[in-house]
Amino acid sequence: MSADHVHSSAERLARADAYAVEHDLTLTPLRRQVYELIVTAAKPIGAYDLLAALEPQRGRVPPTTVYRALEFLVENGFVHRIESRNAFVACCEIGKPHQSQFLICERCGETVEIPGEELAERLSASPPAHGFEVHKQVVELTGLCGECKSKSKEAGA
């Protein structure tokens, strides 16, 4: 893990703590610990991987407890659920309502959240014209990140 990643992780945790206090949200020790694991993960992390990571510090934690923590974190904008992976990634804009799309590397799992209000608006404009009511919008693009793409080219050369 790079020094930049550690620094940004510390900043993200501090922002999360401040946001929770400012909005009178209870960031319990378990919720914060789950959030910290998601923030420091190199790629989206699933609930059972979170359970395994919590066990050395907390002993066996019931899955429902972790799922409730994840539900709180998603509902309050701390993390996003990556639908195609059934995994979670830290939100880049805690507390700011926004639409995001995700770039997901098929090889290494790196996931990048990209802002996408304009795309979300364009996608949402079409369904009502067809009598369809949208309740949720998820856009996940899969492919190869720059590093994996370079490695593929080097291996093929």
Domain ranges, ordered by start, for the chain? 1-91, 98-157
**What pLDDT does residue 136 have?**
78
Q: Which residues of the chain have pLDDT under 50?
A: 1-6
Give the residue numbers of the binding site for Zn(2+). Answer: 105, 108, 145, 148
111's enclosing H/E stretch is strand 111-115
Give the residue numbers of the binding site. Answer: 105, 108, 145, 148
Q: The domain 98-157 is classified under which CATH number: 1.10.10.60, 3.30.1490.190, 3.30.390.30, 3.40.30.10?
A: 3.30.1490.190
The answer to whether the beta carbons of residues 1 and 41 sit under 8 Å apart is: no
Residues 6+ apart with CB under 8 A from 17: 27, 32
82's enclosing H/E stretch is strand 79-82
CA 10 to chain centre: 16
**Residue 12 identity (one-letter amino acid):** R
**12/60 Cα distance (integer angstroms):** 27
Instruction: Give pTM, 2 decimals.
Output: 0.83
pLDDT averaged over the chain? 88
Residues 6+ apart with CB under 8 A from 54: 30, 33, 34, 37, 61, 66
For domain 1-91, the CATH architecture is: Orthogonal Bundle (1.10)
**What pLDDT does residue 115 have?**
80
